[in-house]
Chain A
Amino acid sequence: MLRVRLSSTHGAADPPNLIRLAPAKGVTMYHPARALAALASLALTGSLLGCSTMGGDDDKSADESGSGSTTVKLVTHDSFALPEDLQAKFEKDSGLQLEILASGDAGAVTNKLVLTKDSPIGDVAFGVDNTFASRPVDEGVFEEYAAKLPAGADQYVLEDIGDHLTPIDNANVCVNIDTGYFEKLKLPEPETLDDLAKPVYRGRFVVPGAATSSPGMAFLLTTIAEYGDDWPAYWAKLMDNDTLLVDGWESAYQGEFSQGGGKGKRPIVLSYDTSPAFTVDEAGTSSTTKALLHTCFPQTEYAGVLAGADNPEGARALIDFLLSPEVQAALPDSMYVFPVDENVELPATWAKFAVQPTDPHTVDPAEIAENREQWLTEWRDVTTR
């Protein structure tokens, strides 16, 4: 017969399929002590680190709620950038701490300011542009401040708005092209808005949408300025010509433009008159792109002291600072815009490649404010399926 093993078979390996199925109701005990320790340490380090995460700011906010005079808060859009040393200089010279609240595009910032006009979220705002200027001023978001403007800045001051908003920088939204592309294919370069709707440029233009992007909105205004009430027909032609509509400037320029950061294939893109200065070859002798100067719409960005600010004095100091020659000179490299101060020397590549239009299209800010919603609705109807 068989050799028999020990009779106690309970120690033998149970077939897992059977044993595990026993529907043991209840809880398996893990290591309670370890679990406790883990939880406790989690909670502890959590609170400790939690404090340390935000610790540095706690004193700051304490200061704010106190006198409100040691900090100045700047509300701006998410493209705002300024070299660190300049920020440090401002803080040193003014004795104020600069806090920057940057989120959303110009539109979001403007609407944020309008919504919070009764208890402003900062002291000073930067980034409201001429296409958005009317509404916040009408709503009483800004306090007047007659800053001492540098030479040449006068031309950007808006009628009806006057001292509520101070011009800081400007640039033109223009169609850009990849010059090498057209050279290679021996195609004529497009020059006008009309050209963009021609069959030869079919499928070659990419533009950020007016509803989601402020340069997109500027381009819509360009077409409105150019075609008047017939602008929807032009847009219909553009869409028929396989124009690619994307959500923002990033997608258009970085994603789809053949000279952008990505592997885009479209040689015509909506961007700025300053963009060619960023596509200069290593030698600095030529740019691979150029702006079409008949397709431009000027965008001037303004700063304003917020009505009801905790620190209006600091706000005014910051506006003065933004108008100072140092900041004005830093604007091209930091934010890709022209300074309003005509005496500021531009970077070499700018002087050469960032060519400004002489006679851009314009639309009156009040008219924009009045019609924005309707235009956008119409525009979406033309472009949205």
Chain B
Amino acid sequence: MARRHHALSRHLTLAALALLPVAVLSVFFVLPVSGMIARGFWPEGSFDPGGVLDVLRRPRVHRVLWFTVWSSASATALAVLLGVPTAYVLHRLRIPGRSVVRAALLVPFVLPTVVVGVAFRELFGESGPLAFLGLEGTALGIIAALVFFNVAVVVRAVGAAWESLDRRPGEAAAALGASPWQVWWTVTLPALRPALVSAASVVFLFCATAFGVVLTMGGLRYATVETEIYLLTTQLLDLQAAAALSVLQLVVVVGLLLVAARTRATPSGGTARVTAPAQRVRVRDLPALSVASFTLLLVGLPIGTLVAGSLTVDGSWSLDNFRKLTTKGDNDALLVPVTDALGTSLRTAFDATWISLTLGLLVAVVVTRRSRSRAERRVRGLLDGFFMLPLGVSAVTLGFGFLITLDRPPLELRDSPMLVPIAQALVALPLVVRTIVPVLAGIDDRQRQAAASLGASPLRAVLTVDVPAVWKPLLAASGFAFAASLGEFGATSFLVREQEPTVPVVIFRLLGHPGADNYGMALAASVVLAATTAIVMLAVERLRVPTIGAV
């Protein structure tokens, strides 16, 4: 009896902990998205799944789907091919300033796509220095931009795994006669596989749901599931088709998450992270070094172009574009100066950060408590995956969903000023959960038991055992959440109120208004955003916690 009572109260406690995050995700994600999908399935108020199925038979949908899959797959493959040697160079070799480089690599990840579009166009566009590559308006251009965005995910996840990899199995293999290449293939690669697969699946998700990049780089010649949903929803109001594609997207996302979860199950790292000392650079590292240089070039050139553009006024160097950030631009293109927007951005990001941290921590705690039964473990697994879903859903669907579902009491929330930070927090949540879960999961439950046996209450045990282990990853997670929120554009642009825009929104507006000043200011604002991001990332880098790709 007592035993059963104990189990019950344990379940109740966990359920109570899970309640808040589940409720938030249900209200701000499940409800809006299913609301939009329902509009597609019930077009005139009556259930018509046939109409949705018909959409899936359209040849255009097949083309779009095929292009989405192969472009994302190629971009993922390329990101892995470039990312792995780069991870080796930046995480295993003794290179001066490597932590700065690692932080800088993450900048693209949070740059708004509009900005990246501008940078890529300046570079690869007809008038750019790399126009001869003929990338603009080609699938290759889209793929290059996708790699630009995502290569850091691979570098980070694989690099962190590599860094904490015990090097002795490799040495044992070498001593048994394995050449460096054989060591890599038979020992190192299998050990990196979990990190690699999960990074790749995240990158694939990001690529498959990319939106702005496809529009700006593809020059409308190419359509992906994401851009198609956007067009169907905003231009054609063909909600049936949009719903069909959204469902398709969700199915793919869930499938990928399952694959990622399976590979994640392979034990790796844990908390007992050993950091292998960096090695001296040797001649045989030359191939890796050249790939890494190429990666840096790929990431550095567009950013460099951006910086150069922001410092140029009428063909000569000037800081005027930055000075003008305190103004509203030519002809009052903006309602508030860019500096105000930066303030809003920072405050919003702060809110998004603590929201995602609170939710993420709760989720992580619930997910990592040791399961006493298989059913319990399965529920936890589902919960874990549930919070990854926002990664794979179109911002347009979510944005429209907000408008049509959160419009009446008790959920009359669409006018709430907290909507923007909450939406951003949802985007950042997977990053937070993925950063904290491995750490919490790595804590030996016996430590808590030891604490309890010494007289610590459950809360006290958490404070003694979990908190010390988790505070660094938590700070790192907040850095990621902060940066992700700073750069978030899709959902934000949909929800933001004109008097309180964030920097990406302001950049978009500046680009949308004629006048050379506005264009220069947009570049300068992008540079400020990138620099802010880089600083946050550098701070995170100092904490030495792996994340992002750890899904």
Q: Give yes or no for direct A-B contact (beta carbon below 8 Å).
A: yes
Question: Roughly how many angstroms separate A75 CA and B469 CA in the complex, as a whole number?
Answer: 48
- Tell whether A121 is near chain B: CB-to-CB under 8 Å: yes
Instruction: Produce 1/0 per residue, B457-496, CB < 8 A to A.
Output: 0000001110111011011001000000000000001111
Partner of A100, one of B167, B333, B407, B498: B498
Question: Roughly how many angstroms separate A80 CA and B467 CA in the complex, as a whole number?
Answer: 49
Check B512 against A54 for contact (C-beta < 8 Å): no
Check B234 against A78 for contact (C-beta < 8 Å): no
What number of A-B contacts does a CB cutoff of 8 Å give? 246
Instruction: Produce 1/0 per residue, B109-134, CB < 8 A to A.
Output: 00000100110011001111000000
| 5 closest cross-chain pairs (CB), A and B | A261-B519, A46-B354, A35-B471, A100-B498, A247-B215
- Tell whether B3 is near chain A: CB-to-CB under 8 Å: no
B49 smallest CB distance to A (angstroms): 20
Instruction: Produce 1/0 per residue, B225-254, CB < 8 A to A.
Output: 000000101111110000000000000000
Nearest opposing residue in chain A for B329, CB measure: A81
Check B467 against A254 for contact (C-beta < 8 Å): no
Chain B neighbourhood of A25, CB < 8 A: 270, 272, 444
Given A21-B168, A43-B354, A384-B221, A79 and B403 touching (CB < 8 A)?
no
Residues of B in contact (CB 8 Å), total 98
Nearest opposing residue in chain B for A115, CB measure: B404
- Tell whether B137 is near chain A: CB-to-CB under 8 Å: yes
Question: Roughly how many angstroms separate A151 CA and B226 CA in the complex, as a whole number?
Answer: 45
9-residue interface stretch from A56-64, A179-187, A292-300, A313-321: A56-64
Check B493 against A115 for contact (C-beta < 8 Å): no
Instruction: Produce 1/0 per residue, B23-63, CB < 8 A to A.
Output: 00000000000000001000000000000000000001000
Check A385 against B117 for contact (C-beta < 8 Å): no
Check B351 against A38 for contact (C-beta < 8 Å): no
Nearest opposing residue in chain A for B139, CB measure: A385
B239 smallest CB distance to A (angstroms): 8
9-residue interface stretch from A140-148, A152-160, A263-271, A357-365: A263-271
Question: Roughly how many angstroms separate A265 CA and B125 CA in the complex, as a whole number?
Answer: 9
B487 smallest CB distance to A (angstroms): 17
- Tell whether B415 is near chain A: CB-to-CB under 8 Å: yes
Check A50 against B412 for contact (C-beta < 8 Å): no
Check A49 against B347 for contact (C-beta < 8 Å): yes
Check B407 against A116 for contact (C-beta < 8 Å): yes
Chain B neighbourhood of A266, CB < 8 A: 126
- Tell whether A66 is near chain B: CB-to-CB under 8 Å: no
Instruction: Produce 1/0 per residue, B325-349, CB < 8 A to A.
Output: 0001001111100000000000110
Check A104 against B472 for contact (C-beta < 8 Å): no
Nearest opposing residue in chain A for B361, CB measure: A39
- Tell whether A119 is near chain B: CB-to-CB under 8 Å: yes
Check B220 against A100 for contact (C-beta < 8 Å): no
Given A30-B471, A108-B234, A54 and B417 touching (CB < 8 A)?
yes
Check B272 against A83 for contact (C-beta < 8 Å): no
Check B272 against A57 for contact (C-beta < 8 Å): no
- Tell whether A69 is near chain B: CB-to-CB under 8 Å: no
Question: Roughly how many angstroms separate A90 CA and B496 CA in the complex, as a whole number?
Answer: 22
Partner of B499, one of A99, A105, A108, A118: A99
Chain A neighbourhood of B495, CB < 8 A: 103
Check B513 against A79 for contact (C-beta < 8 Å): yes
- Tell whether A368 is near chain B: CB-to-CB under 8 Å: no
Chain A neighbourhood of B474, CB < 8 A: 39
Nearest opposing residue in chain A for B237, CB measure: A111
Residues of A in contact (CB 8 Å), total 93
A283 smallest CB distance to B (angstroms): 16
B523 smallest CB distance to A (angstroms): 9
Chain A neighbourhood of B494, CB < 8 A: 103-104
Given A244-B137, A261-B515, A278-B514, A333 and B331 touching (CB < 8 A)?
yes
Chain B neighbourhood of A135, CB < 8 A: 237
Chain A neighbourhood of B236, CB < 8 A: 372-373, 376
B218 smallest CB distance to A (angstroms): 8
Question: Roughly how many angstroms separate A114 CA and B444 CA in the complex, as a whole number?
Answer: 55
Instruction: Produce 1/0 per residue, A63-75, CB < 8 A to B.
Output: 0110000000000
Question: Roughly how many angstroms separate A302 CA and B455 CA in the complex, as a whole number?
Answer: 72
Chain B neighbourhood of A32, CB < 8 A: 463-464, 467-468
Question: Roughly how many angstroms separate A372 CA and B232 CA in the complex, as a whole number?
Answer: 12
Question: Roughly how many angstroms separate A246 CA and B467 CA in the complex, as a whole number?
Answer: 51
A368 smallest CB distance to B (angstroms): 12
Chain B neighbourhood of A111, CB < 8 A: 233-235, 237, 400
Known: A21-B274, A99-B497, A244-B126. 15 other contacts (CB 8 A): A21-B168, A47-B354, A49-B350, A81-B513, A84-B328, A84-B335, A111-B237, A115-B400, A115-B403, A116-B404, A209-B220, A211-B220, A212-B231, A247-B216, A262-B125
B149 smallest CB distance to A (angstroms): 17
- Tell whether B508 is near chain A: CB-to-CB under 8 Å: yes
Q: List 25 A-B contacts (CB under 8 A).
A: A17-B277, A26-B271, A27-B271, A30-B471, A43-B358, A46-B350, A50-B355, A53-B347, A54-B418, A58-B417, A81-B333, A81-B513, A84-B332, A100-B497, A100-B499, A104-B494, A112-B403, A115-B237, A116-B403, A121-B403, A256-B125, A261-B515, A262-B122, A383-B221, A384-B221
A residues 234-287 in Cβ contact with B at 8 Å: 244-251, 253-256, 260-266, 275, 278
Chain A neighbourhood of B60, CB < 8 A: 377, 380
- Tell whether A339 is near chain B: CB-to-CB under 8 Å: no
Question: Roughly how many angstroms separate A262 CA and B523 CA in the complex, as a whole number?
Answer: 10
Check B463 against A27 for contact (C-beta < 8 Å): no
Question: Roughly how many angstroms separate A46 CA and B235 CA in the complex, as a whole number?
Answer: 39
- Tell whether B452 is near chain A: CB-to-CB under 8 Å: no
Given A135-B237, A245-B220, A247-B220, A263 and B414 touching (CB < 8 A)?
no
Question: Roughly how many angstroms separate A278 CA and B520 CA in the complex, as a whole number?
Answer: 16
- Tell whether A4 is near chain B: CB-to-CB under 8 Å: no
